[in-house]
Amino acid sequence: MKPLFDLGVLPVRHRTGRGFKPHVSLIFNAGKRLTFAIDTTNSHSPQPDAYLITHAHSDHNGRSAMLSARAVCSVETARALEILYGKKYAGRTFRIGETIDIDGVEVKTYSTHHTIGSCAFYWQNEVGTRILVTGDVKDAKDLPACDCLVTEANYGDYEDPGCHFEDDIGSFKEIVEEEPDDLAFGAYAFGKAQRAVSLLRDSGYSGKIGMDPISLALTQGLMENTGPLVDLESNCGIRITTPAQIPSLKVSKKFILTGRRDYKFPTINISDHMDVNGLINMVHKCAPGAVITYHPGGHRPLKLATYLNKKGIYAKALQQINTVIDI
C-alpha cells in the first residue's frame, strides 16, 4: 500500500554535506507542481514556492526562513521573529483564521494554541487530498479533518512516562496565592513566559510582574491586557525569567514551568504541548489516511509513527522518508 503516493503528496527530506536535516518539504500538484517547505531554513536550491513557518520557536527555523520573500506566517509570528532576531521579516503575513492564496492554492489557517501566533496550514491538491500541517500543538480543538496530516511528536513516545502529563494549573494557582510577594518562575522567553503571564492574571494576581528583557519585549509586543510589567530589577512580587537564569535570582521561592523532569529546581507541570494521549486524540479527530511525523529531531517521531501503525493508522516518521533533496 502506498497511501502517500495515492494521495498525491510527496514528502521530501533535506540533506547537506553534514547529513540529514530535521526538515520536510511537501511536493504536490495543484494546477502545477508546487513545493511547500515546512519549518525549514531558507537555504534551498531550487527555492520552494513557499516557506510555511508554523511559529517562532527557534527549532522551527523562522530565523532563517523569515529572510525570504516566500516566507508565510501569521502577523504575530512575524512580529515575534522580528523581536527575537532583530531583523526585518521579508515574507507575507495573515491573521489566523484567514484563507490566503499561495501560488493559486487556497490555504486555510487554524490556531494550534501552542504559542501566540502559532498556526496550522490546510490546503487541497488537485486530486482533492486535504493536507494539514500543524507544527507544534497545545490544543487540537480548532483543527479540521484531513487526509494527510503532517504533525509533531514532541511527547510522542507512548512507552515513556514523561510523555504522559496534564497541566497542573491547580498547583500553580495555589503557589501564587501562598507566595505572591517573593516568587519566581522559570519559563522560556517565547511561549511559556506569555502563558505564565496569562495564568497569573487568570489567578487573580494584579501586581507587577518582573521579566528579563527578551521575555518582556515579547510579552509587551505580542499580548494585550498584560497588566503591569517591569524589568527583573524593579520592585515586584513575582518574576518570570528563563530557566537558565533562575539559579542566580535572589528570590525565596522558585519553580520551573515545564513538562520536563530533568531540572534541579521544583517544577510545575505547565506545558506548551499536548502529551502523547493528546497527540493520538488529535490524529483520531483529524482522521487522516496518512500521517507524517516530522518534528522534533531524535527518536520520538519514529516512536509515534510506530505506535500509530500498530493501531492501524498509516504513519511515517521523517527519518523513514526515502525521497531526499541535497541542499
Binding site for Zn ion (CB under 5 A): 57, 136
Q: Which of 131, 111, 118 is nearest to 8 (CA)?
A: 131
Residue with cell 515546512: 38
Residue tagged 522534533 (cell numbers)? 296
- What are the start-end ranges of the E strands in 125-245? 130-133, 148-152, 183-186, 209-211, 229-231, 238-241
- Residue 204 burial by CB count (10 A; 0-12/13-18/19+): exposed, middle or buried? exposed
Least CB distance from residue 57 to Zn ion, whole Å? 3
Q: How far is the CB of 118 from Zn ion (least distance, A)?
A: 7
> Please, what is the minimum distance in Å from the beta carbon of residue 292 to Zn ion?
17
200 Cβ contact list (under 8 Å, min separation 6): 176, 209, 238
195 versus 239: smaller Cβ distance to Zn ion: 195
Residue number with CB closer to Zn ion (289 or 298): 298
Q: Give whichever of 192 and 239 is closer to Zn ion, judged by the CB atom.
A: 192
Shortest Cβ 273–Zn ion spacing (Å) = 8
Order the strands of the 19-29 sheet from edge to edge. 92-94, 71-74, 50-52, 33-38, 19-29, 10-16, 324-326
Helix (H) or strand (E) holding 13: strand 10-16
The nearest distance, CB 192 to Zn ion, in angstroms, is 10
CA distance 51 to 91: 9
Between residues 57 and 79, which has the closer beta carbon with respect to Zn ion?
57
* Distance separating alpha carbons of residues 202 and 167, to the nearest angstrom: 15
Q: Which is nearer to Zn ion, 13 or 57 (CB)?
A: 57
Q: Which is nearer to Zn ion, 141 or 311 (CB)?
A: 141
CB of 324 to Zn ion, least distance (A): 25
Residue (129 or 258) nearer to Zn ion, CB: 258
- Minimal CB distance residue for Zn ion: 57
Q: For residues 98 and 264, what is the distance between their CA atoms, to the nearest angstrom?
A: 43
> Minimal distance in Å, beta carbon 207 to Zn ion?
29
Spatial CA neighbour of 120 closest among 100, 136, 105:
136
Report d(CA 215, CA 256) in Å as an integer.
Answer: 15
Q: How far is the CB of 32 from Zn ion (least distance, A)?
A: 32
For 218, which DSSP code? H
Pick between residue 116 and residue 229 the one whose CB is nearest to Zn ion: 116
> Smallest Cα–Cα separation from 169: which of 269, 65, 305, 25?
269
